[in-house]
Amino acid sequence: MPQSDVPLLYSSLSTRRSTYPRWVLLTSSPIPILMKRSDLGNEICQGLLSSNRALPVPPLVNDIVESLSWLLTEAPFPLATSYASIAISLHCVCDVSGSHHIRPFEAHFKITMIAMSSILSTFSPMLYNAVMAELRPYLQNRWGRRIAFVGFKNLLLDSYDFIHNNFHFV
């Protein structure tokens, strides 16, 4: 059978949508780099994944990854400074064998708290303890289990607005 007649089922990656990660996290730098699988191509993506130079991003956190470009281009300045802490936290979501693993269904809440912690420690360390003590119950009461479905950009903006309105933050 000529190579051109081999069904796609035998290609290096299945054509079933569920086997393709939309995003991969490249692990070769201190701040992880997130790349769209379609920009890399299937063969390169498979090579990176099989050589442990990249990790697949779980589908439940795709919106977190997609919010990173917004952070760098359109987000209010204090939010933009949380880019590195969010990217590093995504590494903890993707690395299931790591000691600091964050489960995907907890990622939105935990990464929001990490991002706000980063912002507060940079811009307003005097408010840090008071804000963090109030933010946790605010997010839990406002969003509860729906937090993963709000959209990470909306979650960051909501948290920022809460801090700005209640603590007169930047």
pLDDT tens for 85-109 read 999 999 999 999 989 999 999 999 9
pLDDT band at 170 (very low <50, low <70, confident <90, very high): low
What is the sign of the dihedral through the CA atoms of 118, 108, 52 and 98? positive
Would you kindly state where each structural domain of the chain is located, as residue ranges?
1-56, 61-170
Contacts of 109 (CB under 8 A, 6+ apart): 139, 140, 147
Say what the pTM is. 0.85
The β-bridge partners of 26 are 33, 54
Mean pLDDT for 12-38 is 80
Whole-number Å distance between alpha carbons of 137 and 47: 43
Q: What pLDDT is attached to residue 9?
A: 38
Taking residue 131's Cβ as centre, other Cβ atoms within 10 Å add up to 22
pLDDT over 60 (residue 65) = yes
